[in-house]
Amino acid sequence: MASLELKNVQKTYPNGAIAVRGVDMEIDHGEFIVFVGPSGCGKSTLLRMVAGLEKITEGEILIQDKVVNDVTPADRDVAMVFQNYALYPHMTVRGNMSYGLKNRGFAKDEINKKVEDAAAMLRIGDFLDRQPNQLSGGQRQRVAMGRAIVREPKVFLFDEPLSNLDAKLRVQMRIEIKRLQRRMDVTSIYVTHDQTEAMTLADRLAVINDGRVEQMGAPMELYSNPATLFVASFIGSPQINLLPVKLSGQSLVSGDLSIDGFQDLPADKELVLGLRPDHLSLSADQAGSSNSALKIRVDIVEQHGADNVIYGELIGAGSSMDGEPVEFCVKTGQANIPDIESILDLHFDVADAMVFLKETGSRLK
Amino acid sequence: MKRVQFEHSSIPYLFVAPQIIIIVVFFLWPAAQAIHQSFLLEDAFGLSTQFVWFRNYKDTILSTAWLQAAGFTLIFSALVTFLSLGLALLLAVKANEVIRGARTYKTTLMWAYAIAPPVAGLMGNLMFNPIIGDLYKFLNAIGWDFDHKLDAFDASFVVVLIAVWKQVSVNFIFFLSGLQGIPHSVQEAATMDCRSPTRRFWTITFPLLAPTTFFLMVINITYAFFETFGIIDTTTRGAPGGATNTLVFKVFQDGFRGADLGGSSAQSVVLMLIVLALTVLQFRFIERKVHY
């Protein structure tokens, strides 16, 4: 049984702006779904429609097979964690967490028990009698989650909940959210523009662009098998290397470069070759890394500790998608620290290469 | 709270000097004069003066006229404050929800702010004029035997109505900006936690407006005590029979019309003490419940 279902959901604002252009989705019980996309793509609007904070222009939203289009937010049995926490500033932590339960007519003892259980789970038990302005960002974040947890809703909604935290805390909270969601087994939707958060949290990921779901699937599925150029370039860090090319015989050509081994591609169309930084290597001896048509002049080496990321200009290539010199990026082991301005051969397996149609962004290979 | 102490220089004193001078010249000095005056008894022509200690206080404050004015002032202030705050809050909440034509709506509601109390009083006077007053005719037409020249209740109704009307717009502006200061996401979080809008208003919106409400309450009480002088002076002038005499108006009447400077000063000193006590009371007991 689908826990949450979106049927052709659309949102048009009164001023004619279209935020969501028809989204279909089925989410199973206990799934952790992440909506990811650039700012303004409609992901937050979609989430707010599920929450009931935005009216649905067209289509239907079903929670446990019940259409909720006209159900008030409080009656939908969903709980939301807001980006800026949205705690009630005049209530204590306990007040914040019990407010929703009080309004739903729970008995006092029961409320206290639920609040204390949730507080223990989130390790905010010591702060129950403090006001939100006496807490740190991370603690407020926990209270916001606590407020959602105590209600034991059918669906959890997270609207970029970690974007106000510093980097270290963000990683910590990310892990905690994941653990908590597993433990509570509640269907969750999480909105973010951070692809690392998206990849690490999601059971399934929906990449949203311009009000549409570009692709939905498991994070690794989207990483290794993106359906469109947009998904390929949005998912993965460092970003996928892209090279605008044309087919000539069995080779892809860009400037003076010719890369062999490509078949069954349209000859007269502009194409884009995509190669992930971790599919490129500096030595030919790795299995399958047969193609070595590419060379870069090293520009910057980023040492991340466990691995190095090398950036450099692709020698002999035409211009990039933005009309600038093409820059490629390679992920290698920590031992590889090439000199700046040195020239490196790049090796890859043609099977790993992706080819997209430039015009529509759809994937050909 | 600990404050950082910087090196002292005289420049800050120079900057606050104008304010200090204004307070001394227009408040402290006249207040001292009033206190001094309140111990003196003077004949109507100002030819002889006698120091009489607290006789002025005893004479005026124990008189029925003063007690009547004090009673009216308290009821009047309570009514004006409560009604103008309540109405303004209602209007602000509604105006905050309006989407189409919001600006026109808000501007229209703020207009009355630009009208001085005496002008508001004059307008009220015209509207309640027995010969040409539309409101006078309307109230009589709906079966209320209305005559503010004769009936104390009707006269009070007139001054309260005008005073409230005049004050609603000020309160409206403050409430509206207070409402807009409440984060949108907090309201949204409340929508998800509480089904009833009324309950949401009293548990979330109203407590978050408390600093505004408290500030306005202090301002409104002061307004009702002092600034409504202009309205009373242009409408009822304390009639009928002193039923709409506020303390301030009585000070003015006894001092400037009755030429009893000593008694009038004594009243103004008492009035000052009452307002002081009221303000202290408000800060002591109500501000404690305000969450900033």
Q: Is residue B2 part of a domain?
A: no
**End residue of a domain, out of A194, A226, A258:** A226
Q: Is residue A341 part of a domain?
A: yes
Task: Answer yes or no: do A250 and A112 share one domain.
Answer: no
Summarize the confidence of residues B118-147 as an average pLDDT: 86
User: How large a percentage of chain A has pLDDT more than 90?
Assistant: 54
Task: Answer yes or no: do A75 and A143 share one domain.
Answer: yes
Cα dihedral across residues A36, A37, A41, A44: positive or negative: positive
SS3 B40: strand
Q: Is residue A97 part of a domain?
A: yes
Q: Kindly report the nearest CA distance between residue B242 and chain A, in angstroms.
A: 46
CATH of the domain at A36: 3.40.50.300
Task: Answer yes or no: do A106 and A247 share one domain.
Answer: no
Q: Is residue B26 part of a domain?
A: no
Q: Is residue A364 part of a domain?
A: no
Identity of residue A114? K
Q: Is residue B216 part of a domain?
A: yes
For residue B133, what pLDDT band results from cuts at 50, 70 and 90? confident
Rg (CA), chain B: 23
Task: Answer yes or no: do A98 and A130 share one domain.
Answer: yes
Task: Answer yes or no: do A263 and A318 share one domain.
Answer: yes
Residue whose entry in the numeric block shows the structure tokens 């290539």: A317
Summarize the confidence of residues A306-330 as an average pLDDT: 88
Question: CB-based contact (8 Å) between A15 and chain B?
Answer: no
User: How large a percentage of chain A has pLDDT more than 70?
Assistant: 98
ipTM of the complex: 0.83
Contact A54, A43 (CB under 8 A): no
pLDDT at B257: 81
Q: Choose among A73, A83, A151: nearest Cβ to B191.
A: A73
For residue A112, what pLDDT band results from cuts at 50, 70 and 90? very high
pLDDT at B89: 94
Q: Kindly report the nearest CA distance between residue B214 and chain A, in angstroms.
A: 15
Task: Answer yes or no: do A131 and A38 share one domain.
Answer: yes
Q: Choose among A53, A78, A99: nearest Cβ to B188.
A: A53
Contact B220, B85 (CB under 8 A): yes
Question: CB-based contact (8 Å) between B207 and chain A?
Answer: yes
pLDDT at A289: 61
| Helix orientation angle between A108-122 and A93-103, rounded to the nearest 10 degrees | 130
- pLDDT greater than 90 at residue A336: no
Comparing A358 with A284, the larger pLDDT belongs to A358
Chain B nearest-CA residue for A52? B192
Summarize the confidence of residues A247-270 as an average pLDDT: 85
Q: Is residue A264 part of a domain?
A: yes
Query: What are the structure tokens assigned to B19, written together?
Result: 């304010």
Q: Is residue A282 part of a domain?
A: yes
Cα–Cα distance measured from residue B248 to residue B235, given in angstroms and rounded to the nearest whole number: 15
- CB atoms under 10 Å from CB of B10, counted, come to 7
Phi, psi of B44 (to 5 degrees): -60, -25
B-proximal residues of A, 78-107, CB under 8 Å = 78-80, 82-84, 86-90, 99-100, 103
How far out from the chain centre does Cα B197 lie? 31
* Structure confidence by residue, pLDDT tens digits, B40-79: 887 777 777 778 888 888 888 788 888 888 899 999 999 9
**Overall number of domains in chain A:** 2
Task: Answer yes or no: do A152 and A288 share one domain.
Answer: no
Task: Answer yes or no: do A256 and A218 share one domain.
Answer: no
Range of the domain at A88: 2-226
Comparing B282 with A87, the larger pLDDT belongs to A87
Chain B nearest-CA residue for A97? B193
**Overall number of domains in chain B:** 1
Comparing B44 with A346, the larger pLDDT belongs to A346
Contact B25, B256 (CB under 8 A): no
Q: Is residue B87 part of a domain?
A: yes
Q: Is residue B40 part of a domain?
A: no
Q: Choose among A74, A86, A147: nearest Cβ to B183.
A: A86
Residue A112 burial (10 A CB sphere; 0-12, 13-18, 19+): middle
Task: Answer yes or no: do A351 and A258 share one domain.
Answer: yes
For residue A190, what pLDDT band results from cuts at 50, 70 and 90? very high
If you average pLDDT over every residue of chain B, what do you get? 86
What pTM did the predictor assign?
A: 0.80
Summarize the confidence of residues B10-34 as an average pLDDT: 91
| Helix orientation angle between B206-222 and B152-180, rounded to the nearest 10 degrees | 140
Chain B nearest-CA residue for A89? B208
Contact B193 A52 (CB under 8 A): no
Q: Is residue A206 part of a domain?
A: yes
CATH of the domain at A250: 2.40.50.140
Chain B nearest-CA residue for A144? B189
HSE-CB of B144 using CA atoms within 13 angstroms: 13
CATH of the domain at B277: 1.10.3720.10
Task: Answer yes or no: do A201 and A249 share one domain.
Answer: no
Range of the domain at B223: 56-289
Task: Answer yes or no: do A278 and A183 share one domain.
Answer: no
- Which residues on chain B are in Cβ contact (under 8 Å) with A84? 183, 185
Cα–Cα distance measured from residue A155 to residue A77, given in angstroms and rounded to the nearest whole number: 7
Chain A nearest-CA residue for B99? A14
Task: Answer yes or no: do A102 and A51 share one domain.
Answer: yes
pLDDT at B230: 86
Q: Is residue A231 part of a domain?
A: no
